[in-house]
């Protein structure tokens, strides 16, 4: 009978009592198998002695030589300096704590071997507090014949101790007691080395191992483990999707008269991409199981219309639809659109937001609960406890990034009460990089509106330093004199909203002085909804030529005659947000321009970001770059960080693996379903928390 390592408690190892077990538990190390998966974060090469003349700053190295002089230096901190010489050069050891005996020993002129990090000190290369020992003629030539692993630690646990424990764990490892869940054929087709070999190697790479490869995580043994871990994540998402799809949802069998009527009253016809995506939605709605679909499309691609068509089909079948947006401004914009489109067709559109209070709120709640509201538009407030729907069959969520897996789950809960699940349509204003789409969103089906409505002109983007602000202002003047309209966007992200509005007010005043004669408007988040609406309406009617705004205009504003946008301090914004903002121009017939007026000097990252904006207007490329520069945590918001806690994998580093991971996961799921659950247990001990909501 084989005693699997995942059932062997760490206490079975020599030197682990209750106290040590408790310390290990802080690192989530409970079993012998856990220790095996507790991989070194890096390695030291103590397998050879490096000539002093070949050292590079920052190296960690073993050196050997004769002390040729010791002195105590006073300076800011008293220290003992000892110069060591070998045949290629000299270097100083520096000790801030030392004893007389130590000094004496170093003055004895006996050969020593030291290990430490090479720093740049006042005497040239130095090692602070090296590990060192006296060396006799009969000592071995090196400290080790393998690379030395450095493990993640916790209080009260030393490298030496954890090494001893991992050593013992490795002694117990056989090909039989650590299960290989990846079948041979799968491992062969993706060139993955066996699990036990990989683990053994990573704890103890041989002296000839490629340290650079190990450092960048590209060694096959590391690939192998990242691959398996990513597969486990993928499988958990596949499982979640399948589970969600087992639920019942109402069937909508036809697009219906309402959608036809809606299209008829529009001044334009849908693009091919819009039609195709609408058909994809319809086929989900027919299935009898909840739709879980993400619609991606670049800014301006017309996602709202596609959502409205789906809403029309569901209302036509006799059910309610909810549309949620992450901010009040965006929600108001949807309210305006949906009211304009559906009121003439005899539908009731209700409104729900946090700020809605008192009698007005009661009335809306009542119309939602009684079912007299066909379509409900709002913010997160829509899905609060006290909002009861009569027969909610479709939830449309705009802007995926701020709406995570957990919110999707909460929505599903609401459906459980009414006996059928609402279909979910999620629209993202910012394209999701493939890396993320394949991981965080693998539980969703995906449609892409890959076509812009006709008549859009590409926006020419210019990057200008604020030292040339006056030229930019001159440019605004000329544009306005030519009858064009202009946005001037003020940004200030780190500070409070109040400061942001203040900045916009100040800018508006300054611009009014320099551009007297122009009609200038100002919008920011602190204005009352009615005031905002009035200013936007005047801008739309071309009564305002220059609109000074905070980033509130990021969403929802549509003024085709506006063909110039100035963004101040664009270096402070994420690429996705800049892309959104820029999407407000280029909606009409004239050539449009976007001026990124940055504050000089720009850092390296800032330069890279702004030149990305100048070079491309492809939302997908921009999103990839954003991910590369900022990492997934920031892109997704903190709500989803749970999805990003990998043991060995790193999405950015390992993104080249994702295609294969996806294929392998699908294959395992189909051919070896019994292996899925043990893999999840190995890599995602908390996976049930995602699955069983």
Report d(CA 656, CA 635) in Å as an integer. 20
**Cβ neighbours of 570 (radius 10 Å):** 27
Nearer Cβ to ligand ADP (168/542) = 542
> Where does this chain touch ligand ADP (CB under 6 A) — which range of 239-247, 255-263, 303-311, 515-523?
303-311
Q: Which of 31, 148, 198, 274 binds ligand ADP (CB under 6 A)?
A: 274
How distant is the alpha carbon of residue 614 from its chain centre? 23
- Smallest gap from Cβ 306 to ligand ADP, in A, equals 8
> Where does this chain touch ligand ADP (CB under 6 A) — which range of 104-112, 139-147, 292-300, 314-322?
292-300
User: Is residue 265 within the footprint of ligand ADP (CB under 6 A)?
Assistant: no
> Where does this chain touch ligand ADP (CB under 6 A) — which range of 266-274, 412-420, 473-481, 492-500?
266-274
How distant is the alpha carbon of residue 606 from its chain centre? 19
User: Is residue 577 within the footprint of ligand ADP (CB under 6 A)?
Assistant: no
Count H helices, E strands: the chain?
Answer: 25, 22
Q: Which of 47, 301, 461, 592 binds ligand ADP (CB under 6 A)?
A: 301
User: Which DSSP letter does residue 573 get?
Assistant: S
> Where does this chain touch ligand ADP (CB under 6 A) — which range of 88-96, 268-276, 351-359, 360-368?
268-276
Q: Which of 40, 205, 256, 297 binds ligand ADP (CB under 6 A)?
A: 297
Helix (H) or strand (E) holding 448: strand 445-449
Q: Return the residues of window 546-565 that contact ligand ADP according to CB under 6 A.
A: 558
Q: Return the residues of window 144-163 that contact ligand ADP according to CB under 6 A.
A: none
- Smallest gap from Cβ 548 to ligand ADP, in A, equals 22
Question: Does the N-terminal peptide bond of residue 601 adopt cis geometry, omega within 30 degrees of 0?
Answer: yes
User: Is residue 300 within the footprint of ligand ADP (CB under 6 A)?
Assistant: yes
Residues that bind ligand ADP (rule: CB under 6 A) add up to a total of: 14
> Where does this chain touch ligand ADP (CB under 6 A) — which range of 13-21, 275-283, 301-309, 418-426?
301-309
- Smallest gap from Cβ 349 to ligand ADP, in A, equals 17
User: Is residue 430 within the footprint of ligand ADP (CB under 6 A)?
Assistant: no
User: Is residue 296 within the footprint of ligand ADP (CB under 6 A)?
Assistant: no
User: Which DSSP letter does residue 249 get?
Assistant: B
Report d(CA 91, CA 587) in Å as an integer. 66
Nearer Cβ to ligand ADP (234/617) = 617
User: Is residue 305 within the footprint of ligand ADP (CB under 6 A)?
Assistant: yes
User: Is residue 431 within the footprint of ligand ADP (CB under 6 A)?
Assistant: no
SS3 per-residue string spanning 162-226:
HHHHHHHHHHHCCCCCCCCCCCHHHHHHCCCCCHHHHHHHHHCCECCCCHHHHHCCCCHHHHHHH
- Smallest gap from Cβ 309 to ligand ADP, in A, equals 11
Phi, psi for 333 (deg, rounded to 5): -60, -45
User: Is residue 658 within the footprint of ligand ADP (CB under 6 A)?
Assistant: no
Burial class (CB in 10 A: 0-12, 13-18, 19+), 218: middle
Calculated CA dihedral for residues 369, 373, 379, 382, nearest 10 degrees: 20
> Where does this chain touch ligand ADP (CB under 6 A) — which range of 42-50, 183-191, 293-301, 324-332?
293-301
Q: Which of 63, 80, 299, 562 binds ligand ADP (CB under 6 A)?
A: 299
Report d(CA 335, CA 330) in Å as an integer. 9
Least Cα distance to 535 among 499, 495, 508, 569 occurs for 508
Q: Strand 520-523's sheet: what is its strand order?
A: 459-465, 592-598, 562-568, 485-489, 546-549, 520-523
- Smallest gap from Cβ 220 to ligand ADP, in A, equals 43
Residue 56, classed as helix, strand or coil, is coil
Angle at 353 between CA 349 and CA 356, to 5 degrees: 95
Nearer Cβ to ligand ADP (540/607) = 540
User: Is residue 270 within the footprint of ligand ADP (CB under 6 A)?
Assistant: yes
- Smallest gap from Cβ 487 to ligand ADP, in A, equals 16
User: Which DSSP letter does residue 352 get?
Assistant: E
Q: Which residues fall within 8 angstroms of residue 222, CB to CB, at 6 or more apart?
A: 198, 202, 214, 648
- Smallest gap from Cβ 451 to ligand ADP, in A, equals 9
User: Is residue 271 within the footprint of ligand ADP (CB under 6 A)?
Assistant: yes
State the pairing for strand pair 112-117/60-73. antiparallel
User: Is residue 303 within the footprint of ligand ADP (CB under 6 A)?
Assistant: yes
Nearer Cβ to ligand ADP (209/623) = 623
Most distant CA pair in the chain, distance: 99
> Where does this chain touch ligand ADP (CB under 6 A) — which range of 168-176, 214-222, 252-260, 298-306?
298-306
User: Is residue 304 within the footprint of ligand ADP (CB under 6 A)?
Assistant: yes
Residue 479, classed as helix, strand or coil, is helix
Nearer Cβ to ligand ADP (303/524) = 303
Nearer Cβ to ligand ADP (325/508) = 325
User: Is residue 619 within the footprint of ligand ADP (CB under 6 A)?
Assistant: no
Nearer Cβ to ligand ADP (274/491) = 274
Q: Which of 453, 525, 588, 631 binds ligand ADP (CB under 6 A)?
A: 453
Nearer Cβ to ligand ADP (336/369) = 336
How distant is the alpha carbon of residue 109 from its chain centre? 57
Helix (H) or strand (E) holding 245: helix 220-245
> Where does this chain touch ligand ADP (CB under 6 A) — which range of 101-109, 263-271, 317-325, 671-679?
263-271
- Smallest gap from Cβ 489 to ligand ADP, in A, equals 17
Nearer Cβ to ligand ADP (121/300) = 300
Nearer Cβ to ligand ADP (6/626) = 626
Nearer Cβ to ligand ADP (227/338) = 338
User: Is residue 268 within the footprint of ligand ADP (CB under 6 A)?
Assistant: yes
Find out whether 648 and 39 touch, Cβ atoms under 8 Å. yes
CA 342 to each of CA 29, 133, 559: distance values in angstroms, whole numbers, following the listed order = 59, 84, 22
Least Cα distance to 656 among 230, 262, 284 occurs for 230
User: Is residue 326 within the footprint of ligand ADP (CB under 6 A)?
Assistant: no
Report d(CA 377, CA 353) in Å as an integer. 9
Find out whether 267 and 455 touch, Cβ atoms under 8 Å. no
Please, what is the end-to-end C-alpha distance for the chain in angstroms? 37
**Residues in contact with ligand ADP by the rule CB under 6 A:** 268, 270-271, 274, 297, 299-305, 453, 558
């Amino acid at each position: 009978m084989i005693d699997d390592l995942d059932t062997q408690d760490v206490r079975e190892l020599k030197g682990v009592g209750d106290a040590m077990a408790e310390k290990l538990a802080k690192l989530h190390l409970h079993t012998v198998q856990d220790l095996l998966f507790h991989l070194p974060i890096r390695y030291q090469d103590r397998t050879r002695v490096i000539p002093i003349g070949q050292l590079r700053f920052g190296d960690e190295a073993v050196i050997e030589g004769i002390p040729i002089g010791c002195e105590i230096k006073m300076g800011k901190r008293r220290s003992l300096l000892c110069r060591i010489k070998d045949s290629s050069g000299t270097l100083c050891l520096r000790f801030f704590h030392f004893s007389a005996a130590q000094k004496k020993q170093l003055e004895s002129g006996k050969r020593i071997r030291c290990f430490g990090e090479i720093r740049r000190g006042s005497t040239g290369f130095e090692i602070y507090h090296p590990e060192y020992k006296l060396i006799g003629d009969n000592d071995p030539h090196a400290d080790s014949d393998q690379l030395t692993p450095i493990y993640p630690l916790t209080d009260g646990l030393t490298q030496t101790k954890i090494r001893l424990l991992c050593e013992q764990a490795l002694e117990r490892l056989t090909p039989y007691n650590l299960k290989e869940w990846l079948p041979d054929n799968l491992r062969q087709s993706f060139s993955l080395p066996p699990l036990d070999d990989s683990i053994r190697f990573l704890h103890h790479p041989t002296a000839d191992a490629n340290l650079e490869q190990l450092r960048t995580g590209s060694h096959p043994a590391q690939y192998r483990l990242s691959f398996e871990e990513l597969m486990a994540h993928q499988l958990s998402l596949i499982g979640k999707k399948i589970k969600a799809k087992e639920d019942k949802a109402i069937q909508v069998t036809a697009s219906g008269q309402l959608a036809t009527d809606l299209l008829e009253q529009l001044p334009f016809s849908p693009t091919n991409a819009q039609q195709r995506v609408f058909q994809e939605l319809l086929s989900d709605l027919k299935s009898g199981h909840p739709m879980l679909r993400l619609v991606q499309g670049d800014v301006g691609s017309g996602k709202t219309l596609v959502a409205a068509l789906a809403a029309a089909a569901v209302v036509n079948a006799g059910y309610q639809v909810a549309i949620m947006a992450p901010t009040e401004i965006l929600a108001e914009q949807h309210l305006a659109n949906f009211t304009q489109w559906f009121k003439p067709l005899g539908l009731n559109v209700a409104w729900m937001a946090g700020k809605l209070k008192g009698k007005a709120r009661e009335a809306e709640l009542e119309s939602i609960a009684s079912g007299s509201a066909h379509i409900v538009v709002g913010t997160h407030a829509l899905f609060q406890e006290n909002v009861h729907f009569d027969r909610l069959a479709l939830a449309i969520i705009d802007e995926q990034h701020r709406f995570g897996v957990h919110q999707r789950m909460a929505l599903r809960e609401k459906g459980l009460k009414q006996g059928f699940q609402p279909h979910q349509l999620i629209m993202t204003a910012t394209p999701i990089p493939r890396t993320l789409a394949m991981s965080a969103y693998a539980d969703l089906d995906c449609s892409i509106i890959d076509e812009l409505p006709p008549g859009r002109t590409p926006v020419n983007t210019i990057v200008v330093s604020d030292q040339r602000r006056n030229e930019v202002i001159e440019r605004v003047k000329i544009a306005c004199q030519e009858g064009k309209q202009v946005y001037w966007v003020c940004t200030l992200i780190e500070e409070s909203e109040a400061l942001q509005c203040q900045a916009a007010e100040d800018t508006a005043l300054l611009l009014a002085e320099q551009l007297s004669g122009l009609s200038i408007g100002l919008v920011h988040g602190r204005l009352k909804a009615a005031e905002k609406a009035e200013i936007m309406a005047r801008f739309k009617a071309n009564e305002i030529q220059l609109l000074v705004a905070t980033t509130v205009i990021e969403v929802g504003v549509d003024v085709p005659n506006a063909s110039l946008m100035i963004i101040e301090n664009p270096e402070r914004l994420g690429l996705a947000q800049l892309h959104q903002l820029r999407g407000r121009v280029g909606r009409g017939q004239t050539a449009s321009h976007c001026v990124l007026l940055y504050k000089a000097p720009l850092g390296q990252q800032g330069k890279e970001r702004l030149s990305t904006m100048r070079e491309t207007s492809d939302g997908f490329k921009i999103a990839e770059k954003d991910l590369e520069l900022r990492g997934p945590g920031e892109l997704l918001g903190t709500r989803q960080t749970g999805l990003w806690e990998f043991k060995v994998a790193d999405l950015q580093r390992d993104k080249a693996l994702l295609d294969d991971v996806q294929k392998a996961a699908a294959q395992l799921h189909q051919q070896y379903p019994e292996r899925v659950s043990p893999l999840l247990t190995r890599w995602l001990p908390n996976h049930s928390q995602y699955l069983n909501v």
